[in-house]
A and B are shown apart, each in its own frame.
Chain A
Amino acid sequence: MTGRTPQRTSRRRFLNNLILHFRPTTVPAATLPLTVSWGLGGMAAILVLTQMVTGSLLNFIYEPVPSLAYPSILIIHDDIVFGKLVRNLHHWGANLLVIVAGLHMLRVIFTAAFYAPRHVTWYLGLGLMALVLGANFSGYLLPYDQLAYWAVTICTGMLDYIPWLGPYLKALIMAGEEIGPAALKLFHTVHTTVVPALFLFLMTYHFWRIRKAGGLVVPKQPEDPPTGTPLRVPTVPNLIVREMAMTAVILAVLLVLAVFFDAPLGEPANPGLSPNPTKAPWYFAGLQELLLHFPPVLAVTVIPFLAGLLLLALPFASQPNEAASIWFGTRPDRIAAGAAAIGGVIVTLLWVFLNEYFRTEGWHASGIHRVFSGEIAFGLGLAGLAGFFFILRRRVDLSRHGAFQAVLMLLTSVFLTLTIIGAGFRGAGMRLTWPGG
């Protein structure tokens, strides 16, 4: 027994050495608690890696040709041992990745972790978020069933509404007039070569920037004195054990989903028959929902453009001195953000229901619908946001940072509500219904 100890310690030393080649030797102790980061970034990274493993396996069987794509999915389902499980893992991993990456982004926004020197990390993260959506969307077509075919058709149809550029973008992505062999080939190639390569590049760069910034933001309450160098503890075992626990949790969630819920597979794609309703993938359902309420130029060009600009501009907002990495900074901030979240849900629901009412009453005949669904509604919305910010600043006496975060919370809440309505509560003819009804 005693003879094995030096061997074990040398193995341990080798492992530590390996780990410390891509992790720092020490990390700030204050960044370790779960509530600082919820381990979301790490979970996203683990999901990307599992996607690469399951995706590579599927790619050995899959045939990126319209006549063979759907049958090859059936082969994966019926002829390959664990084939269906691997496809389910890939499907649920992709959807979880959108959710986890989205939550990670919200965490960074609402703990104000995007300021310099972390602004580069933030931009790389935005790139990764776009890549996650791109990966999901490019993979969506591959089963080549009715669901895939028509969801991708209407998403590229949305591109058509972008002034000037739209038709060219659509032609580029669809590689022709309709989705067919060329489009499937393009989507498959992007999904299996461009997307993984970009993931590896952006992820390593993202991690390196986190390390350059000295790890995560050290949480600091406004009343805390300015500290010098924070207390650091060894990465092994403090950080590694926590990361392994989060890995186990996310893999367990993924496995449970994959074992108990099958990835959808509809009828084979039929370009001559559009299903009713035809909906975008759920992560684009908010955008499609906007299209029901706004003129196309606003819904698919102006609003996404402004939202993107807002995200890009975040690091330029003035950095708060009072708090760091605390959710919404102070207690009044938290209350304002909570009110914004609830208010956003209520306003959005009211707005959607009123619009539905005017639509069923023949909304094109009346002028009143413009107040709720036209450029005027857009102007009112912007004015409402500005008014909300003003009230928080002047009446409630919130800090600029706090008021800004409350506005961001309001936007997030509206967007999430629209996404949930669009993905779950729209039925035939895009009317409001209960899910499954």
Chain B
Amino acid sequence: MRIELERRAGASGLFAIVSPLLALALTLIFGAIMFWMLGKNPGHALYSFFIEPLLEVWSLHELAIKAAPLILIAVGLAVCYRSNNWNIGAEGQFTIGAITGSILPILVPQWHSVLVLPLMLIMGAIGGAVFAAIPALLKTRFNTNEILVSLMLVYIAQLFLDWLVRGLWRDPKGFNFPQSISFSTEAVLPEILSSGRAHWGIVFALVAAVAIWFMMRFMLKGFEVSVLGRSERAGRFAGFSGRRMVWFSMMLSGALAGLAGISEVSGSIGHLQPSISPGYGFTAIIVAFLGRLNPLGIIASGFVLALTYLGGEAAQLSIGVSDKVTRVFQGLLLFFVLSCDTLILYRVRVIFGAGRAPAARS
């Protein structure tokens, strides 16, 4: 048996929509098999993983809290990936954004003003953007590979945060716990609704997604992103600069990741600590691809991936599987998304034996 691909005349509009759904379905099927192999009832396990968290108000708030950074980061990454710049260091930009955003509440806690919060958010975004500018600078100036550089910077950012909260910024009254002082109320991102914890981060995420969608769909800048991502040579012919696009896309995604970082720290943690993210920066890569690099699709996929985090926590309690299942689910999902995307550009034929009769077409 072998598999042959035949290029379609154009991208299939049908499969552009069906492919992510198909990937979700396949992930669920594999998930069920996995639970079965772990000795759990697959139906019950999937229910507590993917349905139960949606049934209560407080958990919906948690869903929004977790979806916010995923969506914010992923829409930035979508611009990067569409322009063929492979920023995979969003986790580091998230961390640095959290740090620079926390400068005010930690160093000048006595300053109580309505300006504190906006300034924190801006400084967080700037921090993330500047940190993402490092791979951009090295790529444009020295031709280094942005994938490796941005990833190495993740480790550096995390170690830097670790040093800060254990050293310079450690709360002197914190019983030697590795964490900073708690933010004052002016420095805390408020909740949107009185019914739960969800904070303004999700609003930022939705606004950013819609804004980027508008840019990609209607503005010349979005066209520039698409052209340079598909062919740098054609972009040059159009008079667009590949170099400037490296800076633009990397710093935009860095800024959004930085904003996500300070929103997370300000809105849901309330202080700095060594670990501030369950891998949002990496999971956002999956969110971006599941959303087919379309900001509106990313809103949906952001909630789906947020659900896997919640489901992992829930399943740990209710059916006693480890929360590591979450990351397996996320990894599987990305694999299926990428595989199913093949269907958009190609017809896939499965050919049995040496014969040439198409046995299955899709």
Q: Do A and B bind each other?
A: no
Q: Which residues of B contact A (CB under 8 A)?
A: none
Q: Which residues of A contact B (CB under 8 A)?
A: none
